[in-house]
Amino acid sequence: MSSAAHTFATPSQEFLTLCQAQTTLLTQGLKADWSGIYLTEESEKETQTNLIPLLFAAQKCEFGTGENVSLGLPKVEKILDASISLPIDNSLELPKSLKANLEGDHKTINEHKITMSNPYQLVLPLIYKDIVVGLLITQRKNCPWQQLELEQIETIAQTLAIARLLDSHKQWYQEQLNQQQILQKQEHNSLDDLFHQLRNPLTALQIFGKLLLKRLNSDEKSTIIVENIMREGDHLQDLLQEFEVNKRFLKNDIVTFDTQPTRSLPSEKYLYLSPIKIIEILEPLLISAKTIAQEKSIELKIDILEDSPYVLGDPQALREVFSNIIDNAFKYTPLGGKVFIQVGLASMANGKSYQGVAIEDTGCGIPIEDQKHIFKRHYRGVQEKGEITGSGLGLAIVKDLVTQMQGLIEFVSPIDETSKIGSKFTVWLLLVND
């Protein structure tokens, strides 16, 4: 018979209660003079298996339980071959070693041995799926055990074996959960430290930006660049504040605010929709896009409707949406490529009117096999093995935010069927006067 090696935790109170109930059944229901339960414990040398006493019950005495023990799981062969002492009161007349009992007469029930040193004393291994977890020993002096009684005792042994394994597994999983919670707390602490350390240099960057801006009043091009730097610094500051809100929300479930809470992206709870013009959100992003296009030698074309209507949206969420899509367009478009941003598209869907923004590029495109997964968190498809790094979160965040703003998002790839390159993303936002 084969067996597997396992390490067992100290038995729980629930398991001890079950053992008491089963030994009560033996002593009161089957009139056993006494019953004892031993659990297996591997020795440090792993050359023999020890048995440690867990619980004993007799008709004329109360329960007795062993002290805290360190348990382990032996192989079946170790129980058969090892000389195992059974430390218990001599008045119970237990055998001096298990090996001697195993050499005596035995009966087989359900392929498990019930060993008898005499017709009145039984030794049953607690075994389930080839895993031995202990022994059940019981004795009745007045009359021999009958076949029906032996079957009942075998059922008790099986119940105890299964319960012991389940008890150990439960404690093991609980310990794993505790370890995961400890690691999670450590990770949260590390993130807290990281974001805290970001505050000081970010504040300094904002201060230096303001000072520099005062000195560049006459230099329009440089002023635009500094304003973009300060704007992105403000964006980072917002993200840090959102991190703090998220942390408090997760810790306390409910966050109480003296003022309107800071938004947490992406989360329905913190999006505040209001009428807004798309161009007001896009203008600073387009200034940055022009700078990036020059640096990467990418041709940038922008087509904006002069009098764009109001749409329903959240300013910060919209900035996040367009920033992600535009960044992707430049990231995946090679040198000498093209990016086209078109603002002011109109569409009808489900009886509602939408205003659209399309961002098109001549990049590598999205493979057919990846297209149904691109809005999943952390999914990067073929790009996972590519040279362009990323987290696979950008488009997932975009889809969540657009959906929360009651908008739609669609994409086409490739743009050019001949060369099989390019992608086009269109964000449709609900018109306010609809």
pLDDT above 70 coverage of the chain, percent: 72
Residue with tokens 């040198």: 335
Question: What is the model's pLDDT at position 132?
Answer: 85
Give one DSSP letter per residue of 21-60, joined into a string.
HHHHIIIIIS--SEEEEEEEEE-TTSSSEEEEEEEEEETT
- Do 425 and 276 share a structural domain? yes
List the structure tokens of 299. 């041709």
Of the listed ranges 13-22, 92-101, 406-415, 423-432, the one predicted with least confidence = 92-101
Last residue of a domain, one of 172, 194, 228: 172
- Cβ neighbour number for residue 118 with a 10 Å cutoff: 14
Q: What mean pLDDT value characterizes the chain?
A: 76
Enumerate residues 6+ apart whose C-beta is below 8 A from 206.
230, 233, 234, 237
Which range marks the domain in which residue 393 is found?
270-430
200 is a domain residue: no
- Do the beta carbons of residue 315 and residue 355 sit within 8 Å? no
Minimal CA–CA distance to 68: which of 54, 56, 57? Answer: 54
Tens of pLDDT along 336-361? 999 999 998 888 888 899 999 999 99
What's the CA gap between 131 and 163, in Å, rounded?
12
Which of left, alpha, beta for 110 (phi over 0: left; psi -120 to 50: alpha)?
A: left
Question: Is the entire prediction scored with pTM above 0.75?
Answer: no
User: How is the chain split among helix, strand and coil, in percent rounded to 5?
Assistant: 45, 25, 30
Handedness of CA 316, 322, 326, 327 (dihedral sign): positive
- Do the beta carbons of residue 132 and residue 73 sit within 8 Å? yes
Tens of pLDDT along 357-391? 999 999 988 888 888 888 888 787 777 676 676 66
Is residue 311 pLDDT above 90, yes or no?
Answer: yes
338-349 and 299-304 as β-strands: parallel, antiparallel, unpaired? parallel
- Do 422 and 281 share a structural domain? yes
Last residue of a domain, one of 139, 172, 205: 172
**Confidence class for position 322, pLDDT limits 50, 70, 90:** very high
253 is a domain residue: no
At 112, the amino acid letter reads H
198 is a domain residue: no
Respond yes or no on whether the N-terminal peptide bond of residue 266 is cis (omega within 30° of 0).
Answer: yes
244 is a domain residue: no
Question: What is the model's pLDDT at position 52?
Answer: 83
The CATH number given to whatever domain includes residue 381 is 3.30.565.10
**Segment (H or E) for 303:** strand 299-304
Question: What is the model's pLDDT at position 289?
Answer: 87
Tens of pLDDT along 101-149? 334 444 443 444 555 555 678 888 898 888 888 899 998 888 888 889 9
- Do 18 and 149 share a structural domain? yes
Last residue of a domain, one of 151, 172, 193: 172
- Cβ neighbour number for residue 197 with a 10 Å cutoff: 10
What's the CA gap between 365 and 371, in Å, rounded?
10
345 is a domain residue: yes
- Do 129 and 15 share a structural domain? yes
The tally of domains found in the chain comes to: 2
372 is a domain residue: yes
52 is a domain residue: yes
Residue with tokens 């009942």: 152
pLDDT above 90 coverage of the chain, percent: 24
- Do 408 and 289 share a structural domain? yes
The CATH number given to whatever domain includes residue 62 is 3.30.450.40
Q: Write down how long the chain is.
A: 434
What's the CA gap between 39 and 206, in Å, rounded?
67
- Do 288 and 168 share a structural domain? no
Burial class (CB in 10 A: 0-12, 13-18, 19+), 262: middle
CA max distance for the chain? 112
312 is a domain residue: yes
